[in-house]
Every structure is written in C-alpha cells, then in structure tokens.
Amino acid sequence: MDRDLKTILDPWCQALNNRISVEWMQNDRDVWCQCQRRLVVKLPERGEGAVFTSGEEEDALFKKELRRVREALALLEIVRQVSYDVWRNLLEDSCGVRLGQNGEGDFEASIPFELVLDLNPKDEDCAHHLSLILFCGNDQWNTISPEYSNALGEIGRHDHRLTADLDIVVNVRAIIASSFNLDYFSQVCGSVMELPSRRETRQNEVRRLPHCIFVLQPMIADFSKLVVDLNVSETMAKWVKKGTLFSQLSVRVEIHPDLNEQDARVVLGQFMRAVFRLDQRDNERPPAQERWCPSIHLTCPSSLQPVQFEAMCSAIIENKAVARLSISLWMFREHLSKSAHWWKWLAFALFSRQARERSILKSVALMNINKMSSDDVASNLFEDELVDVSYELDNASHTTLKPNACIRLADGCELTLSSDGALTANQRSTNAVGDDNVSEWMTVVIGGYGRCQVKRSDLVFRGNGITSLYLGSNKGDAFESESSSDLSGLPNLLSAVGARLNFLTLDGPYLEMTESEILRVCPNLVNLVVCRSVVEARFNFSRYHENGQQLPQLGDFEWDDIAKLAATLRDKDNPLAQCVVRLRFRLYNMVDTCDRNGLVTSYQDRITSDLDSLLDMLRENETLEYLEISVPGSCFEADVYNKYCQLFRGRQRTGSGNPLLIYFHGSENVTRTWDTEVFL
C-alpha cells in the first residue's frame, strides 16, 4: 500500500520542489514555544519564471500553479492521515525537505509541525496578498482540478476512513517579516479581513469525496527592524481598530531619530496603545480565545531613552489584550548605568499590585539580560513596588491553604490545627496580610478563626498576576565570561515574586542560586527549567502539589560532573531522579581538567566514560521523558559515533505508558525548543 501511495503522490510533489522548507522556532520572539517546526511554504508569484504575451495568460497560469501547490499540500495532508511514514518519505525523498537533522531522524516516531505561508515578497510588485485569498478562500472548494479528484479517489481506496463526509481541517498561518513596506502590510491585512470565517454552504451540494480545507489562523508579523514613526504608528492603530488578529507580533521600541522629543512621545504613545489595544472599550474586547494577539515580543535597544522606556512600561501595566509578553533588554556596556532605572520600571509594570489588578499578563520572558545586580533590584525597590506591606484587609492577597497545612492560632501558641481535619475546602480560602515576602510564617485571616499564622510554603497565591517567568542572560561575546555578567540581583527578584510563580525558566550559564535556594523562595512551582552551560534540566513538581506535600530538598550538586549526576539520576529514591523529566547535555562545552600535579586531561579522553554513565542511568531511571546529548563532532571516529547512536536509540521507550524520546547528535549549533507549559 505504501508504494502505491508514493506512486500516486510523486507527480504532485514536483509542484512543491523548492517551495517548502522546515524552520526551527528558535528566535527570541519564539521563546519556549511548543516544540514544533514550521513547514514553510513559499507561494507562487505572478510571472514567475516565464514571459507572457498577455496579462490574462499570466493570470490564468498563476492561478493554475497556485491551485497545483494547494492541492499538492492537501493530498500530502490526506496521506499523512493514512500513513505517517509515507508522508514523511514523500517530503524528504520527493520534495527535498529534511525534517530531521544531525542523527535525529531515526529517533523520532512523529514530528509535529505548523504549516506557515511565507508572504515576504521578492520585490515590490509581488501580490502575495491575493495569493492568500486564493489559497485559503472559497476557491479551495469551488475550483477543484480533475487530477486532484482522481488522486483523492485513488488514495481513498486505501483507507475506509476517507469517506465523502470527512473534512480534514489544516490550520495555516501567514508570516510577514520586517522587510515589507507598510503598504504591503496593509494589503495583506485587508486580504485577511476579506477571507470568510467559515465555508460557504451551497444548496443541493452532493459530496463524493472528502475535503481538505486550509483555514487561516491569526498571522505572525515582525516589525522588529522598523523604527517607529508616525506612519508606522498610524498603520498599526488602523488595523488594530479594524480587528486584525495576530498570533505573534514582534516590534522594536525605537523612535525614528528625525522626530523631536515632543513628537516622539506622542508617536510612541499612540504606537504602544495600539500594540496593547488600550483604546478598546471593555465591552468591545473579544473573549480570551480570540485575543487579538496572544504573544507579543518587544525589543528594547540600548539607546532607548528613559522617558521612552517609562512610556512602554506604562502601556504594559494597562494591558488587557496580551497574556504572554517577551522583552529583549539589549544593553551595551556604555549604557549599563540605565539598568537600575529599567528594573525599577519593569518591577512597576510587571510585578506591582497595580499590575496584578490592571493587566491580564500571565507569562513574561525577560531576555538578553546583561545586568541585574543586587543594587538594581535592591530590597527597597520591592518594598516600594512589588510587596503590599499593608495590614488593611482590602489590600490583602487572596490565598488558599494547602491540605495538611499547619495553622497557629496565635503567636507563640503551640496549638495547631490540620487544615484537612478542621477546615472545609471553602474555609481554606484565606487573605494574607502583612506579607514581607521573607518571613517563614505569614499572618492570614481565616473565616471563623480570625488572624492566624501559617507557613509561607503552605499557601497557594491566587488571583491576577504573572505566574510564569523566563529570565535569560545575554550570551553574546561581550558578556561571555562570568565576570562580565552580573546577575547578583536574582535572589532579590525571586524572593519578591517567587511565591506567585508556577513556572520558572532560568536561562544563563552563571546563575547566582542553587536549585534548593530557588525552591525555597518559589514554593508553588509546578515546573522549573534551569539552563546552565553544559546541562539544561526541567523539573516537574506536580506530584508534590497533588499530594499536598512541600517541594523536596534537592541538595547541592555539580551539574558539570556527568558521572556523579548520572549516578544520582540512577537512584530511584533520590528526589532529583524523581523530579527531573527532561535533560539536555551540551558536552562540547565541557572543559579539560588539570590535577594537582598540573597534568591536563582532555575531555575527549573521558567523554566515552560519561556517555557510558548516562547509558547505565537509563537502565534504572523511569521518570525521564526527554534526553538530548550534543557531542563534539571531532571526538569520534564514524564507527564509534554510530555505535553510540545505536546504543542510545536502544534506550528509548515507546508507547503511551512511559515514553522516553532521545536525541544523540554531533552538532554544536543545534538549538531546540522544548514543549513546556511556560507560555501556554
């Protein structure tokens, strides 16, 4: 059957040659997105590769080629429903698309992807916005070629599920990057608004074949290379007001240098209000599933003036449209004196009581951090901006007691009550007052008991505010060494906001805190991701929360000692082995060692020992879901490399019970995102 399907589709794949490619989502704006690759499709353009005698001939051939591409993609999707292996082989063998890379192809059973239409024009005369209407509009069911119908009928004979009443819906996104001009952007937005929200029904229609329907989802737009001027601001405001939806929007917060100070403030204000949709009335706001843009990425250049940074933050705090925000904080050495001012306003915009009350932000990523010193995020900053140091009940934080929490009825009183035995579920709802974000015991008000004291670790904070935080240090050449990257303010930041976090990612080779210290100030974490120079680890603590237990004491250990780490993960009773679900080893970052006598041992001489330790660990560990190992390509002969590929492949677990996915490759430049709840 597989050979027959391939024979049917081979001619159609010719229409896709040099038109489709796979791209990893690994830019700053794609931070910790779901683990999907983009299958990018370049649509045909008018006049492509030919000279026409008339405009009508050019138009007819363009539409025919576009239909051929659309129908080829539709047939591929239908084949994927019948046989994933055939679909993958067709893409790789007949379309020239490489889905896997660096040895991963034999490791993955199924590769998730997102279909994206690339609308970036080759020249100013391109009319991709019209292609969008033909690709995703009514033409896809009103204009069907006889060749497509015949191929669909032949495929249907191979699988009884492909019945006439079957609709296979394929979600596609259009992506338009910052190389476009604003007129072209407006044309694309206009075309998107023209597309029907659902298929037009036709009376007396007789269905003889299944349909594969491409449904356009909110598009991806990248303004990150455009400086903001009046034209950019007005264009954004226009299409926001018209209701254009985006799935991801990237903008650069930089004002055109020709604007004077007053005009710059007006233009930036209009632009930021449009980006965060601040001028929309509450009764005009769409439901959460139809937010105009679920994810926004802001690039803050080092030259950004203090008043402009304040303007951006003042818009963030009023945000009612965006749940996920990422900010690149580019700051060169000569501008590091601004960092304290930036952190003060970020604290106000993201973590203050006003922010929790006004903004709907749930997930924030602060990236390319060059400086977050203890002075920048000093304790008095958090007292002023982040912590509600108030004993008035109307300013109290809403919390819930965990099961089995210990409750002290009065200071110094030895009497304790179990929250399970003494309180119902409704009574476990409390108000926390006088929280200094430091003390182990907090004062709370419990209905019927008045003021009591409970341990901070026994409280779950509820209500608005950010629950997911990503902090990423700058990994550029200028800040490569430990001495030049100051993250000493991390303990202050997490001490202030950690209790409200459920998801935390720390991405930087030189962290100022151990995992145990992090859990001490972030007692409600469900997922923790720590990315160090050699090892990246993801911890899952959901089991502890489900059982009403405090987070475990992980102890302190050296992540760079692969053999000791593997031994720890082999111990099923060790909390670390029970919590770590994903690991990534960048062994090409390992350094040579030197003993007391000055004898240098190259890591190349002991890398196989570390790999053997990891293989031994996989025999015992049953909690890992994902393991990636990147080795220096120069360390192995081909036969040794292939041997370890086979050995790690043999340690994979398949099936629905307790699967383990493993990548083993020799590339030093592979960056892969993990599917995580951090920004869902």
Q: Which of 26-35, 53-62, 215-224, 353-362 is predicted least confidently?
A: 26-35
Q: What is the dihedral sign for C-alpha 91, 94, 95, 98?
A: positive
- 548: left (phi > 0), else alpha (psi -120 to 50), else beta? left
Q: Residue range 491-518: average pLDDT?
A: 87
Domain boundaries, the chain: 1-197+208-219, 393-461, 526-679
pLDDT tens-digit readout, 122-148? 665 556 667 888 888 888 878 888 898
**Residue 401: partners with Cβ closer than 8 Å, 6 or more residues away:** 407, 419, 423, 428, 430, 444, 446, 454, 458, 459, 460
Q: Residue range 555-580: average pLDDT?
A: 89
Per the model's pLDDT, the better-predicted residue between 51 and 487 turns out to be 487
Q: Which ranges of 179-305 would DSSP assign to H, the alpha helix?
A: 182-194, 230-241, 261-275
Residues facing residue 231 across a β-bridge: none
Q: Which pLDDT score, from 0 to 100, does residue 398 have?
A: 59
Residue 330: band (very low, low, confident or very high) from pLDDT cuts 50, 70, 90: confident
Per the model's pLDDT, the better-predicted residue between 110 and 417 turns out to be 110
Q: Which pLDDT score, from 0 to 100, does residue 501 have?
A: 94
Residue 594: band (very low, low, confident or very high) from pLDDT cuts 50, 70, 90: low
Helix (H) or strand (E) holding 4: helix 2-13
Q: Residue range 643-658: average pLDDT?
A: 83
pLDDT tens-digit readout, 66-103? 899 999 999 988 888 777 888 888 888 888 787 655 44
Query: Identity (one letter) of the amino acid at 501?
Result: L
What tokens does 1 get?
């059957």
pLDDT above 90 covers what percent of the chain?
A: 16
What tokens does 284 get?
């005009």
Q: Which pLDDT score, from 0 to 100, does residue 469 have?
A: 94
CA atoms of 320 and 256, how far apart (whole Å): 27
Q: Which ranges of 157-200 would DSSP assign to H, the alpha helix?
A: 182-194
pLDDT tens-digit readout, 183-215? 888 888 888 887 765 445 444 444 566 778 888
pLDDT tens-digit readout, 411-459? 555 445 554 444 444 445 555 555 555 567 777 766 555 667 888 777 7
* β-pair type (580-586, 535-540): antiparallel
CA atoms of 24 and 112, how far apart (whole Å): 11
pTM of the entire predicted model: 0.80
